[in-house]
Amino acid sequence: MHQYRKKPIVIQAYQLHAVDCDDCPQWLKDFFDNPELCEVLETCIVINTLEGKMKAYPGDYIIKGIAGEFYPCREDIFNLTYEKVEEQQCNQKS
């Protein structure tokens, strides 16, 4: 059996503190304004992903992937999978 390692990529992500998202970055506000991509409900955000509709709740992260796709990720999974990078690291070429 072969083993594989995930390629190191830098993604944009934001942890939801509330469904209204008043303090969200602009890229996420633009996403929320598009009814074809998501629906903001009272208790969650329903995101249309490549795998179907997925719900994001306060505490979850919303990730913008490398192909511009959006998807939710639970906080515990996010913390196991991602680490914060400094701005300088983001601008370096691999």
The pLDDT tens digits for 38-66 are: 998 989 999 999 899 999 999 999 999 98
Burial of 68 (0-12, 13-18, 19+ CB in 10 A): exposed
> Is the whole model's pTM more than 0.85, yes or no?
no
What pLDDT score does 75 carry?
Answer: 96
The secondary structure of 32-86, three-state, reads HCCCCCEEECCCCEEEEECCEEEEECCCCEEEECCCCCEEEECHHHHHHHCCCCC
18 band by pLDDT with thresholds 50, 70 and 90: confident
